[in-house]
């Protein structure tokens, strides 16, 4: 399937910004199942310095320096992306989760160090005893790892309420688990923490999902949003994705931008400012299915 994606972020500052420096994760990842047909990143005011490169995790990133005084910053990303395939394997044929958690399944694996780093704790994906206990009923001895992950995903979906007013980007995962409320990044962090608490490698995925308006109603422009979900490693299938916010295994309607340990690694826009005072942020996202491709 082929998608057109527009992501426009507008910062309006209460006072002039004299200088600013930014790190952007807005260029889509070129990965096995996903091909970038077109991408354009526009910034106003124009930066005095721009550098495009790959970050530590292999994600495309853009570094900016803006030295022109400004009270408004607009960052627009326009992309066309083709999704060539998605996971169609049998979860029950994946390996016993205990062999992965113990590290036995990583012996002799190419890139084992790159895999095992995602079992280590991060700020939003820490190992927590209560989350290990919560996940345990999905992971009885001998259960295939992907079947267990699917069960955990379903339980998180059933037990946590989507509530945009309940959290922000700094909310600890313990608070999310206690209150059982949050947004997609909280669902993802909760599942990642639970998996890492059992010793399993799990990645945070940022990107977009195709949304469907109510029957008979048009799709509103700019009404989509960034999305987050989870990627889990198994030796038979590599990295397999799960979306606990929606209780689905991505089947061609998820478009990945970046992979990291948690949100902090791959936030869409971060930076430092000289000046600016208070500011307002407006984000408008459109994800449009253009057509199906053979």
Region of 92 on the Ramachandran plot (φ > 0 left; ψ -120 to 50 alpha; else beta):
alpha
Per run of 10 residues, the mean pLDDT along the chain (length 294 residues) is: 94 94 93 89 96 94 95 96 85 96 88 92 95 97 97 97 92 95 96 98 95 71 81 94 95 93 95 90 92 60
What architecture (CATH level 2) is domain 91-264? Roll (3.10)
What is the pLDDT, as a whole number, of residue 213?
73
d(CA 277, CA 272): 12
pTM to 2 decimal places:
0.93
What is the pLDDT, as a whole number, of residue 242?
97
d(CA 101, CA 249): 22
What is the pLDDT, as a whole number, of residue 169?
87
Q: Decide: 232 and 145 in contact? Cβ < 8 Å.
A: yes
What is the pLDDT, as a whole number, of residue 272?
93
d(CA 80, CA 208): 12
Fold of 2-84+267-291: Immunoglobulin-like (2.60.40)
Boundaries of every domain in the chain? 2-84+267-291, 91-264
């Amino acid at each position: 399937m082929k998608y057109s994606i527009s992501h426009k972020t507008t910062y309006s500052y209460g006072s002039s910004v004299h200088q600013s420096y930014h790190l952007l994760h807005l260029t889509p990842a070129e990965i096995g199942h996903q091909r970038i047909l077109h991408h354009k990143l526009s910034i106003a005011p124009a930066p005095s310095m721009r550098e495009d490169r790959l970050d530590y995790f292999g994600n495309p990133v853009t570094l900016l320096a803006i030295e022109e005084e400004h009270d408004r910053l607009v960052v627009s990303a326009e992309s066309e992306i083709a999704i060539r395939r998605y996971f169609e394997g049998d979860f029950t044929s994946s390996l016993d989760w205990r062999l992965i958690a113990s590290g036995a399944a990583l012996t002799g694996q190419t890139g084992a160090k790159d895999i095992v780093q995602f079992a280590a704790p991060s700020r939003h994906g820490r190992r927590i005893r209560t989350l290990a206990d919560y996940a345990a009923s999905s992971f009885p001895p001998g259960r295939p790892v992907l079947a267990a992950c699917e069960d955990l995903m379903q339980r998180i979906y059933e037990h946590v309420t989507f509530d945009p007013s309940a959290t922000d980007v700094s909310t600890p995962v313990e608070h999310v688990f206690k209150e059982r409320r949050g947004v997609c990044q909280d669902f993802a962090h909760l599942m990642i923490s639970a998996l890492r608490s059992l010793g399993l490698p799990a990645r945070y995925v940022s990107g977009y999902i195709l949304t469907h308006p109510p029957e008979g109603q048009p799709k509103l422009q700019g009404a989509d949003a960034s999305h987050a979900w989870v990627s889990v490693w198994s030796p038979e299938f590599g990295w397999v994705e799960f979306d606990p916010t929606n209780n689905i295994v991505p089947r061609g309607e998820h478009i990945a931008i970046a992979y990291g340990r948690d949100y902090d690694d791959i936030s869409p826009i971060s930076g430092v400012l000289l000046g600016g005072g208070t500011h307002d942020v407006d984000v408008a996202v459109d994800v449009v299915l253009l057509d199906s491709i053979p």
